[in-house]
Amino acid sequence: MDLSKEDIKQVDTIWNNIKTGRAASKQQKEEAVAFWNKVSGKKYKLSTSCGACLSDVFNGIAKLYIKYYEPNK
């Protein structure tokens, strides 16, 4: 999956909001879900509380962060 420069910047912003495994606000969680829906083609509800869904969002964004910001890992 190749991202645009704008999306790559957004990966950094979103990852810094969720890297602890918990978003600081409902808005940050919804931004992460919306971004993951956009880049992965998923259709999770922005307000989802489904643990497996949120885990998919977290792990997917983590992989993108590593790909674009820590390529040597």
Q: pLDDT digits over 2-60, tens only?
A: 899 999 999 999 999 999 999 999 999 999 999 999 999 999 999 999 999 999 999 99
Contact assessment for residue 50 and residue 29, using Cβ atoms and an 8 Å cutoff: no
pLDDT range class, residue 73, cuts 50, 70, 90: low
pLDDT range class, residue 71, cuts 50, 70, 90: confident
Helices (H), the chain: 5-18, 26-40, 51-69
